[in-house]
Amino acid sequence: MDTPAPANDKVLVHEHYTVHLRQRGRAQWSSEARQTYAALFLLQGALSWTDARGAGEMLAPAALLVAPGESASAHGRHATYLLATLAPAYVLDCAVRARLTRADARITFPAPAVAHDARLAHLASDLADELRAAEAGQELMISALVEQLTVHLLRRHAHIRRADELELSRVGLVDRRVRRAVELMHAQLAEDVPLEEMAAAAYLSPFHFARLFKKVTGMSPHAYLAALRLERAQALLATTDLSITEVSARVGYTSPSHFAKAFRQATGLSPRAFRAALM
């Protein structure tokens, strides 16, 4: 049985980003199977984190930065944190408009954990304050703060390099070698897309396609598809009145309980609690 969202959760879903504020709650977060950028800002308390490069402890104020396809996790008790997930096309657009790069760049974060950045802490705190408030113009203020925060991350903490294999397509920033397969996933989110069909869209054998896809995205094809489904589910929960069962079916889950489990692993909230926490 689903429980309602605790009063300490606030979520705002935007076309290009999602922000989730958890106040003085149990933190159990993982970035596995994501094709978005994730920035977890610790506002109060402490967290333990791990990623492929190591592990450590975070004391507020601090941040954990994760690029698409990278794996990281954090856990702690009685922590207040703000999680921002950013679409790759949005991050690249911010970088181009800030004149930090051209539209053919790959952006990563060399250091996963960031501490002693007063400007970053201030921006994250202001964003959290806007999420707590229920005032006119809230969405405009949040949009401006997310953009400022993204540009600051790009200026101070990102590694930007040219990547000729990337291109902007109708589904966002995609490696051109797997673009057709990714477009197929977007078009068939509600269906069980076999690996052979994905590979055929990329004009590769299943074996070579799976290896290439993992190399360029950091995820297996089916993990990437699962991430797309859960991101689409968040948008449907935020923008429609569809039931949880209908949302589950529209993003390819035949079992609502399986969907709820996957959704909780990705967001830390059940679908019902996520909807209740929406701004």
**pLDDT tens-digit readout, 165-206:** 777 666 666 788 888 998 999 898 888 889 999 999 999 999
> Where are the CATH 1.10.10.60 domain residues in the chain?
167-277
pLDDT at 53: 85
> What is each CA distance from 16 to 49, 86, 94, 218, 278, in whole angstroms?
26, 6, 11, 21, 16
pLDDT at 7: 55
Rounded Cα distance between 34 and 223, Å, is: 8
pLDDT at 3: 45
* Class of domain 167-277 (CATH, top level): mainly alpha
pLDDT at 171: 65
CATH of span 9-162 = 2.60.120.10
Amino acid at 164: D
pLDDT at 57: 94
pLDDT at 267: 86
Give me the residues paired with residue 161 across strands.
106
Rounded Cα distance between 202 and 256, Å, is: 31
Token pair for 108:
């990563």
pLDDT at 174: 76
Token pair for 168:
């902007």
Going 93 to 94 to 100 to 105, the CA torsion angle's sign is negative
pLDDT at 194: 92
pLDDT in tens, 123-156: 999 999 999 987 888 999 999 999 999 999 999 9
pLDDT at 52: 85
- What is the distance between the terminal CA atoms of the chain, rounded to a whole angstrom? 23
> Where are the CATH 2.60.120.10 domain residues in the chain?
9-162
pLDDT at 2: 47
pLDDT at 274: 93
pLDDT at 217: 84
Q: Is the overall model pTM greater than 0.75, yes or no?
A: yes
Low-confidence stretches of the chain (pLDDT beneath 50): 1-6
